[in-house]
Amino acid sequence: MFVTGKHLSRRTVLRGLGATVALPMLDAMVPARSLFAQTAAGKAADHTRLICIEQVHGAAGCSEWGASQYLWNPETVGRGFDLSTSSLSPLEPFRDYLTIVSNTDARMAEAQSPAEVGGDHFRSSAVMYTHAHPKLTEGSDVRVGTSLDQLYVQRFGKDTPIPSMQISIEPVDQSGGCAYGYACVYTDTISWSAPDTPLPMVRDPRVLFEQLFGVGGTPEQRAMQRATDRSILDMLLGQMEGLRRELGAGDRQRLDQYATNLREIEQRIQRIEARNTSGEERALPGAPAGVPDSWEEHVKVMFDLQLQAFISDTTRVFSFKFGRDGSGRVYPGSGVDTGFHNASHHGTTEARIREFAEVNKFHVSVLPYFLEKLKTTMEGEASLLDKTLIMYGSPMANGHVHNHRNCPFVMLGKGNGALEGGVHVTAPDNTPMANVMLTMMHRLGMDDVKSFGDSTGEFAL
């Protein structure tokens, strides 16, 4: 290939019965004697990957006492910040990739009429990445705003097999009314392709795996494949061996590692399903068989699927909902045996605020697992962590009083130079979080976007 000048298309796939597997970036996809950055593959690789994560119920460090103890935002502004007292402390090894933004507001989640009072939990998620105020309705006439992830998709996500994926950890209802006059869809998704078009979120790792690596297969074909207890890669062995013979040693190693990773994830999902259908009592009765009872295990397998999707350029955009408002889930790994929602209603008791801070810390603690994998995965001359922007935060601040001022919000990764990292920036009072998101859209190449949600201008990062 290198001698003749022939090369593989970046969109080369392996196809089998009910399986279509895209390939990782290979040297054989770069035309001979061409500079990588000037090729179609090189230009595609330069597109920033975007992950928008929401956690619910705010943070202990957003209460008055918690803020005084620096339980979320560190004391020092600038580059010399100390995370030791913060729920963000698990991110210390990645501080060079961490941008902390404090004292911004999600005001569109606040009640704007007497009829909306008390409904904070049931409109907050809809605000997180739209920063628009949800219409009060339990019917199908929902309306909020187009979310940041989908604005990015509309500009940069159309040349991948799947423009974006929406995933969640908690169950979602997706129909009918929830409480305080709000449709459940406001609570159940953070991704809106239009103001009146919420996008459903995938909770089951099996479903996500099949959507990413079973494109083109029918449900019947995928069910038949699962019944054989074979890997999807078993159906592609002939094509894969034929391809390997045409590749150089480095590309063969990349292809083998990619196949190994896919098979390992598939086997993990199979083990989860076997455990959950064994008849043993489940911690999450009624959850799909592919959903682990462990929150941490669930998040990690979803992260691993995102990584493989990025490597194969199957999609570049994920929205990821870590929790659901009102959830009473207990997280044993946090060392706290109080349910999530109850823990967020900590009053002004110092011990209970610290307890909730441990829950926040536990949620943050899963991020380094993914960050390390992104950092050690190279694409061209840079790592995927250098090419990825991760937003993580909550549209609620102090969960005990359901307010939306000084919300927890951080960004991770370099976003292809959109962020320097290693800095804590604090905003003037009454600054919309939407200002930060508008600024990031500009840095991601959407310079012509004049406003976003309730933004009032750009934000100095």
Q: Strand 177-179 vs strand 182-183: parallel, antiparallel, or unpaired?
A: antiparallel
pLDDT digits (tens, 9 = 90+) for 316-364: 999 999 999 999 999 999 999 999 999 999 999 999 999 999 999 999 9
For residue 11, how many C-alpha atoms fall within 13 Å in the half-sphere facing its CB?
6
Q: Strand 49-54 vs strand 388-393: parallel, antiparallel, or unpaired?
A: parallel
For residue 25, give every residue at least 6 positions away whose Cβ sits within 8 Å of its Cβ, in sequence order, or none.
10, 41, 45, 254, 311, 313, 379, 380
Give backbone dihedrals phi and psi of 150, rounded to 5 degrees, phi first.
Answer: -80, -30
Q: How far apart are CA 202 and CA 170, in angstroms?
A: 10
Q: Is the pLDDT of residue 186 over 80?
A: yes
For residue 230, give every residue at least 6 positions away whose Cβ sits within 8 Å of its Cβ, in sequence order, or none.
none
- The percentage of the chain sitting over the pLDDT mark of 70, rounded to a whole number, equals 91
- Residue that wins the pLDDT comparison between 417 and 25: 417
Q: How far apart are CA 120 and CA 122, in angstroms?
A: 5
Q: Is the pLDDT of residue 133 over 80?
A: yes
For the entire predicted model, the pTM comes to: 0.94
Six token digits for residue 131:
């920063």
> What confidence score (pLDDT) does residue 173 get?
72
Instruction: Mean pLDDT check: name the lowest of 2-11, 233-242, 295-304, 450-459.
Output: 2-11
Please, what are the domains in the chain?
1-46+206-290 (no CATH), 50-203+295-456 (3.40.720.10)
> What confidence score (pLDDT) does residue 219 get?
65
pLDDT grade, residue 177 (50/70/90)?
A: confident
- The percentage of the chain sitting over the pLDDT mark of 90, rounded to a whole number, equals 79
